């Protein structure tokens, strides 16, 4: 069996860890994830789902503030290879060098396009119709390592980031389990990336969820809604109120409608607002109910 140390934190990493645990080809020697975090008014501590899964299977789980704190412990596990999915921290060279066959990372883009922390959101925000998955060797430079396998994937016109995350989480797990042993045994050779073709994406900020019909087309607004349906959500000025919108329909042409749920946008396109989150109650509601409430004395 191939001894693997798994690095991961976000929900997208769960299927890969589950698949590695279930496969007879691998022994998950240890799991590395982020420390527990405090949430809510009571500051109750919560463990990442990855840590919970490791504990359920009696796998050693390490949650260092800095990876340099566990260098000696990782060495004692005698790993053949590492697997990383959405760990959320930079892995320094001194840690990468502990693994004879390196650390293999599943990245949700067709590298070298969209190197960085938000490839799925960025692809959807830009209205891309095509993206993909890359299985690559972790390097000191962000998402710049050798590529062992790539698989293109389409993005449906109405697909959201959360839906694409779920789809890629399942497929990425299959790819990791199918090919990690070949990489560990030296049967699969990586190909270097062309840095001249690199495109970078960046951390998502709350400001990116602001919809501005004065400068954006209806389709651009809709694509942002799809991209940021998880976080930070999208804000729009409707009837003089800043609201979080949850459902929109892009219209090719603004017909001069006087209805307040139709918002004119750039290039004579328009947005039809369908659903939003009530600023008062925090609950989802139809735009009709919201506008009726605005008109009541």
Beta bridge partners of 30: 5, 60
Confidence (pLDDT) at 293: 80
Which residue range(s) make up the domain with 81?
2-197
Question: Could you report the per-residue pLDDT of 98-141, keeping only the tens digit for each?
Answer: 999 999 999 999 999 999 999 999 999 999 999 999 999 999 89
pTM: 0.93
Distance CA 217, CA 90 (A): 36
> Looking at the structure, do residues 96 and 79 belong to the same domain, yes or no?
yes
Residue that terminates a domain, selected from 137, 167, 197: 197
Taking the mean position of all CA atoms in its chain, how far away is CA 296?
A: 41
Overall domain count for the chain: 2
CA angle 168, 88, 147 (to 5 degrees): 55
Tens-digit pLDDT string for the chain (297 aa): 999 999 999 889 999 999 999 999 999 999 999 998 877 777 788 899 999 999 999 999 999 999 999 999 999 999 999 999 999 899 999 999 999 999 999 999 999 999 999 999 999 999 999 999 999 999 989 999 999 999 999 999 999 999 999 999 999 999 999 999 999 999 999 999 999 999 999 999 999 999 999 999 999 999 999 999 999 999 999 988 999 999 999 999 887 765 788 999 999 999 999 999 988 889 999 999 999 887 655
Q: What is the pLDDT of residues 12-25, one digit of tens each?
A: 999 999 999 999 99
- Determine contact, residues 114/201, Cβ cutoff 8 Å: yes
Are 162 and 87 in a shared domain? yes
246 and 114 in a single domain? The answer is no
Residues 102 and 53 in one domain: yes
Chosen domain end from 176, 197, 218: 197
Q: Do 32 and 102 lie in a common domain?
A: yes
Domain boundary among the residues 177, 197, 217 is at 197
Domain match, 177 and 231 both: no
Q: Return the number of other C-beta atoms located less than 10 Å from residue 70's C-beta.
A: 16
CATH for 45: 3.40.50.170
The closest of 52, 15, 16 to 34, measured between CA atoms, is 52
């Amino acid at each position: 069996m191939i001894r693997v140390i798994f690095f991961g934190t976000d929900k997208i990493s769960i299927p890969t860890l589950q698949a590695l645990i279930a496969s007879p080809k691998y022994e998950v020697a240890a799991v590395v994830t982020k420390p527990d975090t405090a949430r809510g008014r009571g500051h109750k501590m919560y463990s990442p789902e990855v840590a919970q899964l490791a504990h359920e299977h009696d796998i050693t789980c390490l949650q260092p503030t800095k990876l340099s704190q566990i260098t000696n412990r990782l060495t004692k596990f005698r790993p053949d290879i590492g697997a990383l999915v959405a760990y959320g921290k930079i892995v320094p060279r001194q840690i990468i060098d502990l693994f004879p066959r390196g650390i293999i990372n599943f990245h949700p883009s067709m590298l070298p396009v969209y190197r960085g922390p938000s490839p799925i959101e960025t692809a959807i925000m830009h209205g891309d119709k095509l993206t993909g998955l890359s299985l690559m060797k972790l390097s000191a430079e962000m998402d710049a390592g050798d590529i062992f396998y790539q698989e293109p994937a389409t993005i449906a016109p109405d697909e959201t980031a959360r839906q694409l995350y779920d789809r890629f989480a399942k497929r990425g797990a299959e790819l990791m389990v199918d090919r990690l042993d070949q990489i560990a045994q030296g049967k699969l050779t990586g190909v270097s990336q062309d840095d001249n073709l690199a495109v970078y994406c960046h951390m998502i900020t709350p400001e990116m969820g602001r919809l501005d019909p004065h400068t954006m087309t209806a389709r651009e607004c809709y694509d942002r809604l799809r991209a940021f349906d998880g976080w930070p959500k999208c804000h729009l000025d409707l009837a003089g109120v800043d609201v979080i919108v949850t459902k929109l329909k892009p219209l090719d042409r603004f017909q001069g409608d006087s209805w307040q749920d139709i918002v004119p946008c750039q290039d004579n396109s328009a947005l039809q607002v369908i659903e939003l989150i009530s600023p008062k109650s925090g609950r989802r509601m139809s735009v009709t109910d919201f506008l009726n409430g605005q008109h009541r004395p």
